[in-house]
Structure 1
Amino acid sequence: MISQSQQQQHTLKILPQQIQLLNLFQLNSLELQMHIRQEMEQNPYLEEILDQGSEAKADKCDHEAEQDYKDWEEFADNDVPDYCREYANYFNESNRPDRPIADVLDFREEAKKQLSYKDVDERVQTLACYLIDSLEDTGLLQKDLVTIADDFSFRYFLTTPEEVELALRTVHELEPVGIGCRDIRECWLLQLAKMNQKRPDVANAILLLKNHYEDFKSRRFEKIMDMLQLDEEEFRIIVQFLGRLPMRPVAEHLTSISPKDSIIPDIQVSHDGDEFTITICGITAENFRVSDELNETIKVTKDKSALQYLRSKMQSANWLMYALRQRNESMMKITKAIIRFQKDYFQDGDVNKLQPMILKNIADQVGLDISTVSRLTSNKYADTHFGTIHLKDLFTEGIINKSGEVISNRVIRHALEEVIGMEDKRNPYTDQQLVAILMNKGYKVARRTVAKYRDLLQIPVAQVRAMWA
């Protein structure tokens, strides 16, 4: 039987150029520079405008290099002893040259090298490399798998949290043991899995972490001893055994000289009295142009396929310069809005002067979408007179303090970190004691809020801090 039906549904379609524009917004200065270089290699229409001063300097260097070899034949056979040309055979303390910094291999590069030797699927290997790049300096993974899957799908190919978890298991097989773990418990379990599990202390430690970790964090020791049928001496041996295991996989593998990543600021904020001057650093659309020679080539080209190729490359070059202007103009608007919102903080960089600010506050001021503001502030740094700051860290929610004022939760985290830093290491404060101390400082927070901020700061509970004092 033939029948007809009518349906109405809403669909949202994003054009490929919009996706490329959002991808471009998320890049920082260094990543944008690499992206432009790759585009210049593929697009003959895109040309970089060189400064005339730099061209003159290059010609001068070439001329000086030519002069260096002009009299080579005269001095080629000159037998001057080596010691006559040496700078010095011995140096005193005041004239000692700087020692070169030893080359230290980053644990991420070492992990990728180990990954290349494994027989895994190409998709899993790509995901595993992305996970390795997402690790913290301690070797732990702080981002949740859903966020990683979304970010990866937007940049590369579509994936799911389940596939990301499969790639994470591959990362867990790499050295050092525990790399890619999401918390201390998972790091300990991976280390125990590499040991002889027939040992009583290892077996009981695995049972404790798998089944009674929350009780262990909450210091319910009697309940754990009852469930595992252990006496006090046996339980003490297990706790001391866990205390000897590293809590972070990379901490024990750092050398005396640790490599530091150089941060290239995307924005420079200058301060002069009450006035702020904002400069967008890095590449701008004015640094590039469309080749005039290839414009002439289009006019004389008769081949349709060649003409179509040239036109597509010209459109791509024009769109890229348009996208660069859009990116820099939007970043300028967002930075101005942030400085207006956090003017007291930008005066001297005092964290206690931070105001609660969410993405919607800035999006409403500049007339952009919240996701666009998020991408333009993510992985972007600003160079200020009090240091380099991450723009995304300025977005915090608010909490009402004792006097009824709304303050940023980052202020409370900073106060909590200071209190724990000054405590007696052998007799640390419990979460309830921290609540009372913060209350005396004027911050009215619940115990679960203190526990949440303590976890965000990667600070263990009081009994664990006392155990490793």
Structure 2
Amino acid sequence: MQGLSINLSQQQRLSPQQIQLIKLLQIPTAELAARIEAELEENPALEEGISEERLEEMEDRETVDDLANDEMAIDDYLQDDYAGYKMAGDSYDPNEEMRERPMPTVPSAEEFLLMQIGFVITNERERIIAEQLIGSLEDDGYLRRNIESIVNDLAFTVGFETDYQEVERVLLQVQQLDPAGIGARDLQECLSIQLHRKHFADEHALQVAIRLIDQYFDEFSKKHYSQLQQKLGVDEALLKQAINIITHLNPKPGGSEAGEVAPFLQPDFIVSQSDGKLDIKLNGKNAPELRVSKSFQEMLQTYSKGDKQQKEVKEAVTFIKHKLDSASWFIQAIQQRQGTLLKTMESIVGQQYDFFLTGDESKLKPMRMKEIAEVIEMDISTVSRVVSAKSVQTDFGMYPLKYFFSEGITHESGEDFSTREVKNILRDLIAGESAGHAYSDEELEGLLAEKGFVVKRRTVAKYREQLGIPVARLRRKME
């Protein structure tokens, strides 16, 4: 017997504006300019610059927090509330004096990759493998040495035992480094890595380009375009657009050209101290001023006075309103990105204040993303996106934000220590071994206990492996 029934259920759905904010949170400062440039090209209602009448109002402007506003009335578009998005925390000023900033030296391509390891590698063991992989790259950025040979190299040169699966897992992390495509084993993989990391205004064309490389590389390389059209189910224009995206990729990400200069790592935050106090700033160098186009606002006003019953007028008003909405939402998303980043960094500095003041690693406290999320009253996933691929410039060097997060171990005195500090103690203990005797994990467990750290043997073994230190038997052989 058929019947009708009503069921209530709750579903959480993100609005396009919230999705846009999430994506912007993940973008580091070095890539922000390219993302903004793409939006400027896509939306004519968005402009770079700020109107003169708004320059004096920038300090007092209220920040817009709600990305899910209902459709704005026409009059709302005629107000210049989104003239710019620069915040007080932004640090870049073209007129700022630079005398206190040291001149950077230009790193080599290999040094540039090694500098980035901390952004994607979480432990010492993976770092050793990553350094071996980077050292095995050829001048054009490809890894043509097979993984089995890398495993053997590590075993014979540094007595480091690993396997194919672990090296391949670390290789995937190395392939996240810049420039995109580095560490690829062939041209197909190189192009695929770049496409999966690419931002493009026409998402449909980008997805077609990804399928061309990932699924139909053989047909693509042989230029069987008619077959590709049928298999992809696309017209000639879309196929050409996808091919155009691919032809603008870099087939040699390592840059084998003589005299080519590796790009600089740009910090997302700058923390400096003055008179014993810390100053936290966002690096706004790659974030130009944005505003909603005045001409588009005036165009909407003109069309709104016309006969709205006419199809052409109605379509024009809809198009203009859509572009103005998109421009306003994008500026709001940038505002929220900057505000969220600064709020998160302030919380991190608050937790690790002694380290940022002294640069002493022993001052680092155990800290989890959940704790920061509670302090700033945001979801832990938001903190994770803020921390991802971000760095901070301090008076003691540049650090990835992930560096400041670690679990804690309680000392017998009741004080909490970061696991990083415990690993440093473990490394010192092993470094002090006599030539004729290497400590077993059980002995290391006892030595740590003497120092007040109650750590299980299996945990000692895990820390030792993360430090890339082999077992006692292999250390004796190395002696």
Name the TM-score, length of structure 2 as normaliser. Answer: 0.54
1: CA distance, partners of 2:143 / 2:323: 35
Label 1:9 to 1:300 Cα distance change in 2 as closer, same or farther (>3 A).
closer
Label 1:136 to 1:16 Cα distance change in 2 as closer, same or farther (>3 A).
closer
Residue 464 in structure 1 maps to residue 466 in structure 2: no
Residue 440 in structure 1 maps to residue 442 in structure 2: no
2: CA distance, partners of 1:272 / 1:350: 18
- Give me the identity figure in percent: 35
Give SS of 1:450's match.
helix
The aligned residue for residue 43 of structure 1 is 43
Label 1:31 to 1:452 Cα distance change in 2 as closer, same or farther (>3 A).
same
What CA deviation, in whole Å up to 9, does each residue of 1:347-401 have, x standing for no partner? 1111111112222222222221111112112211111111112222212221111
Label 1:275 to 1:319 Cα distance change in 2 as closer, same or farther (>3 A).
same
CA offset at residue 423 of structure 1? 4.1
Name which of 266, 269, 273 aligns with 1:267: 269
The aligned residue for residue 301 of structure 2 is 299
The aligned residue for residue 376 of structure 1 is 386
2: CA distance, partners of 1:29 / 1:19: 19
Contact 2:33 2:287 in 1 (8 A): no
The aligned residue for residue 338 of structure 2 is 328
What CA deviation, in whole Å up to 9, does each residue of 1:265-315 have, x standing for no partner? 111111123321111102587711122223223334564434333322221
Give SS of 2:372's match.
helix
2: CA distance, partners of 1:464 / 1:8: 63
Name which of 349, 361, 365 aligns with 2:371: 361
The aligned residue for residue 18 of structure 1 is 18
For residue 299 of structure 1, what is the amino acid of its counterpart? Q
Residue 314 in structure 1 maps to residue 324 in structure 2: yes
Residue 408 in structure 1 maps to residue 418 in structure 2: yes
CA offset at residue 422 of structure 1? 4.7
Instruction: Structure 1: give runs of 5+ residues left out of the alignment.
Output: 53-99, 115-128, 141-151, 158-166, 171-256
CA offset at residue 335 of structure 1? 1.7
Contact 2:271 2:356 in 1 (8 A): no
CA offset at residue 22 of structure 1? 0.8
Higher RCO (CA 8 Å, separation ≥ 6 residues) = 2
Aligned ranges 1:269-288 → 2 under 5 Å: 269-282=271-284, 287-288=289-290
CA offset at residue 445 of structure 1? 1.1
2: CA distance, partners of 1:282 / 1:426: 56
Contact 2:17 2:333 in 1 (8 A): no
Residue 450 in structure 1 maps to residue 460 in structure 2: yes
Aligned ranges 1:28-427 → 2 under 5 Å: 28-49=28-49, 107=137, 110-111=141-142, 133-134=175-176, 262-282=264-284, 287-301=289-303, 303-423=313-433, 427=437
1: CA distance, partners of 2:334 / 2:348: 21
Give SS of 2:2's match.
coil
For residue 299 of structure 2, what is the amino acid of its counterpart? T
For residue 456 of structure 1, what is the amino acid of its counterpart? Q
Name the TM-score, length of structure 1 as normaliser. Answer: 0.55
Give SS of 1:270's match.
strand
Label 1:442 to 1:39 Cα distance change in 2 as closer, same or farther (>3 A).
same
Contact 1:398 1:407 in 2 (8 A): yes
Label 1:422 to 1:260 Cα distance change in 2 as closer, same or farther (>3 A).
farther
For residue 301 of structure 2, what is the amino acid of its counterpart? K
2: CA distance, partners of 1:136 / 1:424: 42
For residue 289 of structure 1, what is the amino acid of its counterpart? R
2: CA distance, partners of 1:28 / 1:388: 14
Contact 1:342 1:354 in 2 (8 A): yes
Label 1:45 to 1:391 Cα distance change in 2 as closer, same or farther (>3 A).
same
Contact 2:445 2:457 in 1 (8 A): yes
Label 1:348 to 1:30 Cα distance change in 2 as closer, same or farther (>3 A).
same
For residue 19 of structure 1, what is the amino acid of its counterpart? I
For residue 27 of structure 1, what is the amino acid of its counterpart? I
Contact 2:408 2:416 in 1 (8 A): yes
2: CA distance, partners of 1:297 / 1:46: 14
2: CA distance, partners of 1:397 / 1:468: 32
For residue 279 of structure 1, what is the amino acid of its counterpart? K
| RMSD value, Cα | 4.2
1: CA distance, partners of 2:178 / 2:332: 35
What CA deviation, in whole Å up to 9, does each residue of 1:224-264 have, x standing for no partner? xxxxxxxxxxxxxxxxxxxxxxxxxxxxxxxxx99977321
Give SS of 2:14's match.
coil
Q: How many residues align?
A: 301
For residue 263 of structure 1, what is the amino acid of its counterpart? L
For residue 469 of structure 2, what is the amino acid of its counterpart? I
| Bigger radius of gyration | 1
The aligned residue for residue 221 of structure 1 is none
